[in-house]
Amino acid sequence: MYNPQTEKHAFMRILNRLSLPGLFGLIFLIGCTTAANQAAENNIGQQPLPSKLQMQQLIIKFRDPNFDPAQDDYLQELSRDTQTQLIYLRPMSGGAHVFRVMDTSDNAQLITVIQRLCKRPEILYVEQDKMMRHQKVQ
């Protein structure tokens, strides 16, 4: 026979057995699973795009800090030497400059462009401009 009072007493006994540390442990476990689920959802959204859809940009630092790489004739010369179209975007702090590489569809082509640029005597270094993402620290 069903007795609601007996069920209520059983529930109260269970609550009494849970101590404060046990309650905190339960809250901690729930929080961990929630954080893990959020991290998994964020990682799904951070999958890299296929290489054909990625915008390729380079950071180039020149030996002469007063050099202006935005000149049309210099850009044409760079594009001819690298066998791809380079577009000047902007200067950066520290004297480097950002260029967009237009005709590359994979990393092998981009590496070839970087190697060709590094051979030029006026260039100090070249590196790929990668998108940085801030991550929440918990």
Give a yes or no: residue 136 inside a domain.
no
Residues 56 and 34 in one domain: no
Residues 67 and 20 in one domain: no
Residues 15 and 57 in one domain: no
- The parent domain of residue 34 ranges over 4-45
Quick one: CA dihedral 128, 134, 35, 21, positive or negative? Answer: positive
Residues 100 and 63 in one domain: yes
Above 50 in pLDDT, residue 81?
A: yes
The answer to whether residues 88 and 69 touch, using CB atoms and an 8 Å cutoff, is yes
Which tens digits make up the pLDDT trace of 33-62?
555 455 545 544 444 444 444 568 999 999
Q: What percent of the chain has pLDDT over 90?
A: 36
Give the best-scoring range by mean pLDDT among 9-18, 48-57, 97-106, 111-120. Answer: 111-120
Residues 36 and 55 in one domain: no
Q: Would you place residue 133 in the very low, low, confident or very high pLDDT band (cuts 50, 70, 90)?
A: confident
Average pLDDT of the residues in 59-78: 92
**Closest among 59, 131, 52 to 98, alpha carbons compared:** 59
**Spatial distance between the Cα atoms of 126 and 42, rounded to a whole number of angstroms:** 31
For residue 96, give the CATH number of its domain.
3.30.70
Residues 25 and 90 in one domain: no
**Spatial distance between the Cα atoms of 116 and 77, rounded to a whole number of angstroms:** 12
